[in-house]
Amino acid sequence: MARRGPVALRVVVIAYLVLLVAWPVSLVFTGAFANGLAPVIETFRDPLVLNALRLTAIAAGWAVVLNTVFGVGVALLLVRRTFPGRRLLAALVDLPLAVSPVVVGLAIALVYGAKSGWLGVPLANVGLDVIYSTPGIVLATTFIALPLVIREIIPVLEEVGTEQEQAARSLGAGPWTTFRRITLPAIRWGLIYGVVLCLARAVGEFGAVKVVSGNLIGRTQTATLTVEELYMNFDREGAFAVAAALASVSIIAIAIVGLLRARTERRTS
């Protein structure tokens, strides 16, 4: 039973959210359709824009997959095991949130640069370019979104404790079955939220990608970089249209989670 807060408080909260979130975001959508549907359609017919959207989808897809798999693994390690260096690892996990994306981009460029990077040179020798190429974009995007899944799961893992897992083990389940049938269902909401946040963050990444991609139009330009480019070139409808597409992905993802959640809550109560 949610108690009704005082009216004044509600007004403040709503005004705050509208001014900071809802209004600016809605302006992106209205801006996109300022001159009707035609310019929007034209924008999404542009092969360069389509390419950028595809690249963003690829980078975000990899970031979600990698961060989900490793995120679950790292979270399990951090919560369920004790080992020397655990605290250090936990602190490291937060680093991508604390460091500016531009710094992340530069760091990746230093390590993977084809000319002088520690790893970049040997990789270039076997024919794999990381910087100014898709792998670098995937790497930067994954790095930036790395803590999100982990940070969503850790508190859930801590809260459910180990007894259910131990019960499953004593009932004959091996480690993998226990994970799949007990641990995973227990953390599913945290995981879903983490994945959604990760997706939204990956789709929207700008700074780190800008550094590592070289912003080669039609090749390494992601959707966010395209938005900037269109905006700078005074193609406002185009910029708003792509921006609206990016915003839609996040809004739809969050809406789906909200709906799913409401449905399961209704079913179990």
Q: Which residues bind another protein (CB under 8 A)?
A: 163-164, 166-174, 177, 181-182, 185-186, 268
Q: Which is nearer to another protein, 169 or 236 (CB)?
A: 169
Residue number with CB closer to another protein (177 or 233): 177
- Indicate the residue type of 103: V
The widest CA-to-CA distance across the chain, in whole angstroms, is 66
Question: CB–CB of 227/246 below 8 Å?
Answer: yes
Phi, psi of 133 (to 5 degrees): -155, 170
| Rounded least distance, CB 170 to another protein, Å | 4
Using CA atoms, how far apart are residues 112 and 132, in angstroms rounded to an integer?
A: 10
Of residues 122 and 161, the one with the C-beta less far from another protein: 161
The nearer residue to another protein, 188 or 236, going by C-beta atoms, is: 188
Cα distances from 192 to residues 150, 160, 269, in angstroms, run 11, 17, 21
Two structure tokens written together for 5: 């807060």
Give the nearest distance from C-beta 212 to another protein in angstroms. Answer: 41
The minimum distance between CB 160 and another protein, in angstroms, equals 9
3-state secondary structure of 161: coil
- Of 182, 157, 168, nearest to 78 by C-alpha is 157
Q: Which is nearer to another protein, 134 or 164 (CB)?
A: 164
> Considering the complex, what minimum distance in angstroms separates the CB of residue 153 from another protein?
16
Smallest distance, another protein to C-beta of residue 180, A: 11
* Residue 152: CA count within 13 A, CB half-sphere: 21
Choose between 142 and 183: whose C-beta lies nearer to another protein: 183
CB of 154 to another protein, least distance (A): 19
Radius of gyration of the chain (CA): 22
Shortest Cβ 82–another protein spacing (Å): 10
C-alpha span between 116 and 106 (Å, rounded): 13
Q: Which is nearer to another protein, 68 or 164 (CB)?
A: 164
DSSP for 15-30, written as a single string: HHHIIIIIHHHHHHHH
Give the span between the Cα atoms of 110 and 117, in whole angstroms: 5
Q: What are the distances in angstroms from CA 239 to CA 57, 138, 203?
A: 18, 23, 15
